Amino acid sequence: MTCRRFFAVRLLQLERPTPMKMSFSDLDLAKKGTLVVTVAEDRALLASAAQVDALTQGAVARAMAASRFTGKFGQTLELLAPVGLEASRVLLLGLGKLAELTDAKAESLGATAYAAVSGQPETHLAVALDPLTGDLSTATFAARLAHGAHLRAYRFDKYLTKQKAEDKPSLEKITVLLADHSAAKKAYADFDKLADGVIYARDLVTEPGNVLNPETYADRLKDLEKAGLEIDVLTLKDLKKLGMGALIGVGQGSKSESRVVVMCWNGGKDGAAPVAFVGKGVTFDSGGLSLKSAKGMEDMKWDMGGSAAVVGTLLALAGRKAKVNAVGIVGLVENMPSANAQRPGDVVTSMSGQTIEVLNTDAEGRLVLADILWYTQDRFKPVAMINLATLTGAIITALGHEHAGLFANNDALADAILTAGKDTGETLWRMPLGEAYDSLLKSPIADMKNIGDGGAGSTVAAVFLQRFVNEVPWAHLDIAGVAWANKDKGVVPKGASGWGVRLLDQLVKTHYEA
């Protein structure tokens, strides 16, 4: 075998697996594999569950009586090899109080159903969805349930060369069974494209730093032109011409040259101001000469989670052909210690002309964002500008892993983002800005320093960024606590969450699309 052929085979082995098939069909219980039926609070069987109970001669009722399953939201109970059905197993899925059901809860239910059978040797999963009452559309509910299952089914196993058979997923197809399956299929189309964006973002965040550096990251994004995005890659030479001294300083210790990538989706009216998304893309953060500890450094491949969210959002908008003009700008750098690395005490000149005394090289993300925020507001004159960044550990101290931190100079924009967060489950908590915090950035030798004097670390970072946005409606999302999940939760399996893609897509849909 030649070397050329050998490498071709190895690359083939590292291809991603075929995506799971999602479909919608008639409400017919005669299905193989696992059949999911729903039960409301206080063990109230919905129509399909009641039918299964009758076909199995009361097995559902007896199983509930022998367990603590009450139909509470998210509860599950499994019946194996039920007599009277073709299905190999039946899964009871609790809906809770029917009056409290929402479309957002549908996604959680889909994720729960998938998680309950993902470790089983099943190839098919069917969810029987009976007609819903009230204001909920059963078709939309079905689409979002399928979306939740799709997101939870994510795996990143491209580098696994040896897996035991029992560790490999066997589930190949998920079908949602309902009367109005044609409407559900139509509603799912946009969610399918949204999932593509989330999964693309998760893939980016999960890639190791030796594979995804600023140069290879930018090269990968060029491929998104096939999705309909306009891609412009700014090289180090371009960045020097633009005067992006703050961003350049962060990456000067790496052998991989820094990049800025501009992505445009033109789906709105010609000439209409775009909504802009800006992302921090530190592909690996050692801390620079202000070196992190070994433990603090081991996860720092995902310090580009903000940029991944921006990329995923633009891909989702293009995929569903959103009627909006949108621009995404990501600053891609690697923060490494070397003889060429930025030193604590250095003074750099940002693209805005403002000078910055760099006292801590591990406070690097704000330097990257300073230049690309200025570039974005100056070049594109956006109607609003939202940046995302895994910016501070302090936001994890404040909010844990439940919410992202939201800082904004515009109340209407902040309220819109908070609402989108509630609608998608990607929740935020608004944090303060103010002159008292801004004064902590005063430097004796430059226009500002890049850190404060201790305390309020997340807010100090936010007011630093605010110096580079002028009067544009702006929001800063500190996603350090939510970009990576240490355990399975809802629609997010352990690992990269793709946090922000669903939030921003919903924000665009409700506030910026024509």
Same domain for 26 and 124?
A: yes
Mean pLDDT over all residues of the chain?
A: 94
Same domain for 322 and 461?
A: yes
Domain boundary among the residues 133, 153, 179 is at 179
Domain count across the chain: 2
What is the spatial distance between Cα 304 and Cα 389, in angstroms, rounded to a whole number?
A: 7
Same domain for 225 and 267?
A: yes
Give domain status of residue 192, yes or no: no
pLDDT band, residue 20 (cuts 50/70/90) = confident
Same domain for 171 and 207?
A: no
What is the spatial distance between Cα 33 and Cα 173, in angstroms, rounded to a whole number?
A: 10
Number of neighbouring beta carbons within 10 Å of residue 514 = 10
Same domain for 166 and 276?
A: no
Give domain status of residue 269, yes or no: yes
At residue 452, the pLDDT reads 97
At residue 18, the pLDDT reads 56
Under 8 Å between Cβ of 37 and 49? yes
What is the model's pTM? 0.94
User: Residue 157: which CATH number?
Assistant: 3.40.220.10
Amino acid residing at 398? A
Question: Which tokens sit at 53?
Answer: 């109970």
At residue 135, the pLDDT reads 87
Backbone angles phi, psi at 429, to 5 degrees: -130, 125
Catalytic residue among 43, 72, 292, 323: 292
DSSP state of 113: H
Amino acid residing at 86? E
Give domain status of residue 21, yes or no: yes
What is the spatial distance between Cα 304 and Cα 401, in angstroms, rounded to a whole number?
A: 17
At residue 163, the pLDDT reads 79
Domain boundary among the residues 134, 151, 179 is at 179
Number of neighbouring beta carbons within 10 Å of residue 146 = 29
Widest CA span of the chain, in angstroms?
82
At residue 30, the pLDDT reads 67
Does residue 7 carry a pLDDT above 60? no
| Sequence-ordered list of residues with C-beta below 8 angstroms from that of 170, at least 6 positions apart, any chain | 120, 121, 122, 123
The mean per-residue pLDDT over the stretch 240-248 comes to 98
Same domain for 162 and 201?
A: no
| Phi-psi map region of 408: left, alpha, beta (phi>0 left; psi -120 to 50 alpha) | beta
Question: Which tokens sit at 330?
Answer: 């990501």
What is the spatial distance between Cα 266 and Cα 401, in angstroms, rounded to a whole number?
A: 34
Under 8 Å between Cβ of 512 and 275? yes
Give domain status of residue 426, yes or no: yes
Under 8 Å between Cβ of 302 and 202? no
Give domain status of residue 191, yes or no: no
Catalytic residue among 366, 467, 502, 509: 366
Closest of 457, 497, 301, 480 to residue 401, by C-alpha: 480
What digits encode the pLDDT tens for the residues 269-299? 999 999 999 999 999 999 999 999 999 999 9
Burial status of residue 58 (CB atoms within 10 A of its CB: 0-12, 13-18, 19 or more): exposed
Same domain for 164 and 97?
A: yes
What is the spatial distance between Cα 322 and Cα 208, in angstroms, rounded to a whole number?
A: 32
What is the spatial distance between Cα 27 and Cα 408, in angstroms, rounded to a whole number?
A: 47
Domain boundary among the residues 120, 151, 179 is at 179
At residue 462, the pLDDT reads 98
Q: What is the dihedral of CA 448, 451, 454, 459, to 10 degrees?
A: 90
Say whether 292 is catalytic: yes
Using CA atoms, how far residue 76 sits from 36, 119, 387, in Å, is: 10, 15, 39
Does residue 174 carry a pLDDT above 60? yes
User: Residue 402: which CATH number?
Assistant: 3.40.630.10
Give domain status of residue 184, yes or no: no
Closest of 283, 270, 272 to residue 336, by C-alpha: 283
What digits encode the pLDDT tens for the residues 337-370? 999 999 999 999 999 999 999 999 999 999 999 9
Backbone angles phi, psi at 359, to 5 degrees: -90, -25
For the chain, what is the total number of helices (H) and then of strands (E)?
A: 17, 20
Same domain for 168 and 209?
A: no
At residue 10, the pLDDT reads 36
Same domain for 501 and 354?
A: yes
Query: Percentage of residues in the chain with pLDDT exceeding 90?
Result: 91
Same domain for 172 and 203?
A: no
At residue 13, the pLDDT reads 38
Give domain status of residue 311, yes or no: yes
Same domain for 462 and 339?
A: yes
Q: How many Å is the Cα radius of gyration of the chain? A: 25
Same domain for 173 and 254?
A: no
According to DSSP, the β-strands at 428-430 and 495-496 are unpaired
Does residue 2 carry a pLDDT above 70? no
Closest of 401, 404, 392 to residue 457, by C-alpha: 392
According to DSSP, the β-strands at 325-335 and 404-408 are unpaired
In the three-class reduction of DSSP (H, G, I as helix; E, B as strand; rest coil), residue 365 is classed as: helix
In the three-class reduction of DSSP (H, G, I as helix; E, B as strand; rest coil), residue 209 is classed as: coil
At residue 9, the pLDDT reads 35
DSSP state of 268: S
Sign of the alpha-carbon dihedral angle for 196, 404, 399, 101: negative
Number of neighbouring beta carbons within 10 Å of residue 361 = 26
What is the spatial distance between Cα 474 and Cα 412, in angstroms, rounded to a whole number?
A: 10
Range of the domain at 354: 197-511
Amino acid residing at 285? D
Q: Which residue has the tokens 């530190």?
A: 282
Burial status of residue 462 (CB atoms within 10 A of its CB: 0-12, 13-18, 19 or more): buried
Using CA atoms, how far residue 176 sits from 25, 35, 194, in Å, is: 6, 10, 19
According to DSSP, the β-strands at 34-40 and 44-45 are antiparallel
Under 8 Å between Cβ of 466 and 409? yes
Say whether 366 is catalytic: yes
Q: Half-sphere exposure of 150 toward its Cβ, with a 13 Å CA cutoff?
A: 25
Give domain status of residue 1, yes or no: no
Number of neighbouring beta carbons within 10 Å of residue 273 = 15
- 3-class SS string, 401-422: CCCEEEEECCHHHHHHHHHHHH
Number of neighbouring beta carbons within 10 Å of residue 133 = 10
Q: Half-sphere exposure of 498 toward its Cβ, with a 13 Å CA cutoff?
A: 29
At residue 1, the pLDDT reads 37
Q: Which residue has the tokens 């690992």?
A: 495
Window from 21-30, 145-154, 186-195 with minimum mean pLDDT: 21-30
